[in-house]
């Protein structure tokens, strides 16, 4: 019987990148004036050459997040 192997390299190379942004004026007005943090899978915020973007526009809220230096 021949054994088959499956490629799971995409799962093993996946990592989470931390981003943050300052609150918007409307968030401050409604009392949400803290810094907002977001964890993003590296596959969503990588450039075509494989490097990670320092600034990333979130497709859900349309706001720009900056990469944390500690990640």
From first to last of its 71 residues, the chain has per-residue pLDDT tens of 454 444 445 455 568 999 999 999 999 999 989 999 999 998 898 899 988 999 999 999 999 999 987 54
pLDDT of residue 5: 46
d(CA 41, CA 20): 14
Domain assignments of the chain as residue spans, ordered by start: 19-67
Beta bridge partners of 3: none
- Only one residue has tokens 């859900």, namely 60
d(CA 25, CA 47): 30
DSSP-H helix ranges across 1-71: 9-12, 25-29
């Amino acid at each position: 019987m021949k054994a088959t192997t499956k490629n799971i390299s995409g799962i093993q190379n996946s990592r989470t990148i931390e981003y943050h942004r300052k609150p918007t004026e409307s968030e401050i007005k409604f009392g949400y004036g803290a810094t907002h943090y977001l964890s993003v899978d590296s596959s969503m915020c990588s450039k075509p050459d494989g490097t990670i973007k320092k600034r990333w526009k979130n497709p859900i809220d349309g706001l720009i997040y900056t990469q944390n230096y500690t990640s």
